[in-house]
Amino acid sequence: GENVEQHPSTLSVQEGDSAVIKCTYSDSASNYFPWYKQELGKRPQLIIDIRSNVGEKKDQRIAVTLNKTAKHFSLHITETQPEDSAVYFCAASRRGTSYGKLTFGQGTILTVHP
């Protein structure tokens, strides 16, 4: 089955800095890669996703890049703000089953210091 590894497990940055979280996946058939943000005690929420036919996708301060050959994808947050502090999860799923059947990474605790 799919295995998703996520690094780092914790990330601390100053407000205004950029943050990068990286994930690798094992199943070459995976073709959908969402990122979820989970604030303390709250539900996970989708912040951005990318399909395998796209190398990069951007939404305001958030961007995701995908390298299919190397089987890794990354989340980039620019101009970080204290409200970006949360746990971020990468995930992967494959065609042939439901795209909602996700394998999640272990999560990255992002702390943005004012």
Partner 1 sequence: DTGVSQNPRHKITKRGQNVTFRCDPISEHNRLYWYRQTLGQGPEFLTYFQNEAQLEKSRLLSDRFSAERPKGSFSTLEIQRTEQGDSAMYLCASSLARQGGEKLFFGSGTQLSVL
Give the footprint of partner 1 on this chain (CB under 8 A). Answer: 4, 6, 32, 34, 42-46, 49, 51, 89, 91, 93, 97-107
What are 35's two structure tokens?
A: 């990122």
Cα atoms in the 13 Å half-sphere on the side-chain side of 72: 11
Among candidates 68, 62, 7, 9, which has minimal Cα distance to 33?
Answer: 68
Alpha carbon distance 49, 14 (integer Å): 25
CB of 8 to partner 1, least distance (A): 14
CB of 16 to partner 1, least distance (A): 28
Measured from the CB atom, is 72 or 78 closer to partner 1?
72
CB of 4 to partner 1, least distance (A): 8
The SS3 call for residue 51 is: strand
Measured from the CB atom, is 18 or 45 closer to partner 1?
45
